[in-house]
Structure 1
């Protein structure tokens, strides 16, 4: 079983009214999102039993999140019913399908974690805890999440995706080197890398984070695939070609594919002592397929396991 800790976000996509209709205003189509929630959905759809630890609002968006997570097979028994409103992100897509977000996140449910809400029993028999994104960067809840993850590292593999959002958190909020003291797997995009350590070559950044404690580092590079680094030994993984609708949720689906593959090989549940570079590359090859299929449909809608034969 996997556990995922973090936020749900309502992803709003603007649409122009049809030609000939009232020219005023914009329509807003809202889809369930949020990096950790997307990863939980993708893991469950791939066939990995998954528990989501989130603070889910009782508002209309919270209802959307619950329906989406449960219908995908995610266990919500460890989530909190929150009184605060949901986080909303309004996305603008560029010509390549890349999203730029405007967040409405002040005082919302996702960042209000307290230590008493994160008891170690919530993990159950999870072999891996995945966390990161804004929930680990934003006050006031990030300290409770960090303490929980650090404690979980005693008996579970810890996976981390910073998933940086420069409009909501500063570079100093992403304490990646310190997080690597208890994280075994660090996954980030090349955009994340450029924000966190501007001007630093990929190999040097990986080596610095390995020295801090992370054993497996995977950096995604969009259509160029990914780079896998295990204890400083590196390999490139190409991505399959697909017709991109948008890239929303692609990185989250990649993380799910990576963890699903590693888990199916029995490599999670400890400090990755049995992991080889070859097995890590195989996991990344599977992950880029999952990510590519997510890019082929609108929004964060990761594939079910039976769709993987499409590539």
Structure 2
């Protein structure tokens, strides 16, 4: 196996999609592997960037599904913990535009139970980049351990964070309170425009980006759905357009974008430090590639990101 370049830390989630008629007293759940960090690791590996997933994966039936999905995509699971706690379940409802709204069943789940002895620099290993985000950043008791590892990794690797706000499960005030600390730890902050509005309601993108740059983040990327994405490097900003896409659903699109962004930064030789030589043109190029990856994910059902061959041409 080639040297691991990106480690992704966080949760696996069983995404359950309801079919049938509730009015007739019966629903059928179609369960697919998901979870923002796991989706990102899968997408990275499929694009060709060697990826390691750091997670606590349950030994239940959902956990077996996660392992098979990650391994089939080439993700390194050698540093995962096999956990006694159950997997996290999310029941998704799709609106008319294919946007998913989730209800989470996450209490006492394996994903959040990291101990200090489990989550160490030794488990992380030598990587160019550590990416994390979503519920792993905010769910006790593991969230504190995650932040500690980010601080340790920052001395030798690029740190990337996607808050991926889950307002139905975690009060947005928690994200608002933690953002300065995350920006101090991270070189890359990536989030959606919906996340931005949840964390800093009513504030302009320019103002928020400048605040987060001042707190320490070198690169801020805001995805904007069909409008593409905005990149901000130390206050210089540019926007990239999204390709026209026939959307099946948007599940996993943001995670695929993150993977595309990190993959392009990796292949450009930019990961592995503080992004000191990153310029706006390079950030724009990485985001333009990332929106293509996200668009392909939107064109199929579920979090099923493309392989490198799907982007040829």
* Alignment TM-score, normalising by the size of structure 1: 0.97
1:23 to partner: Cα distance? 4.3
Equivalent residue number for residue 266 of structure 2: 263
Q: How many residues align?
A: 306
Equivalent residue number for residue 216 of structure 2: 213
After superposition, where does 1:7-22 map in structure 2 within 5 Å? 7-16=11-20
CA distance in 2, matches of 1:146, 1:125: 18
Equivalent residue number for residue 33 of structure 2: 32
Equivalent residue number for residue 9 of structure 2: 5
| CA-atom RMSD in angstroms | 1.1
Moved more, 201-210 or 8-17: 8-17
CA distance in 1, matches of 2:149, 2:116: 8
Equivalent residue number for residue 94 of structure 2: 93
Deviations, residues 253-298 of structure 1 (Å, cap 9, x unaligned): 0000000000001101000011111010000000000000000000
Equivalent residue number for residue 237 of structure 1: 240
Pairing 1:53–2:54 present: yes
Equivalent residue number for residue 81 of structure 1: 82
Equivalent residue number for residue 199 of structure 1: 202
Deviations, residues 136-174 of structure 1 (Å, cap 9, x unaligned): 111111000000011100000000000000111112322
Equivalent residue number for residue 154 of structure 1: 155
SS across alignment from 1:115: coil
Equivalent residue number for residue 138 of structure 1: 139
Q: Is the 8 A contact 1:138 1:173 kept in 2?
A: no
Equivalent residue number for residue 189 of structure 1: 192
CA distance in 2, matches of 1:249, 1:103: 16
1:303 to partner: Cα distance? 0.3
SS across alignment from 1:260: helix
CA distance in 2, matches of 1:194, 1:309: 35
CA distance in 1, matches of 2:124, 2:45: 16
CA distance in 2, matches of 1:286, 1:268: 16
* Alignment TM-score, normalising by the size of structure 2: 0.96
Deviations, residues 211-265 of structure 1 (Å, cap 9, x unaligned): 0000000000000000000000000000001100000000000000000000001
Q: Pick the aligned partner of 2:288 from 285, 288, 306.
A: 285
Q: Is the 8 A contact 1:190 1:219 kept in 2?
A: yes
CA distance in 1, matches of 2:247, 2:292: 13
Deviations, residues 5-51 of structure 1 (Å, cap 9, x unaligned): 0000000001116xxxx944011000000000000000000001000
SS across alignment from 2:301: coil
CA distance in 1, matches of 2:182, 2:173: 13
Equivalent residue number for residue 307 of structure 2: 304
1:309 to partner: Cα distance? 3.2
Structure 1, unaligned stretches of length 5 or more? none
Deviations, residues 87-137 of structure 1 (Å, cap 9, x unaligned): 000000000000000000011011111111111022222100000110011
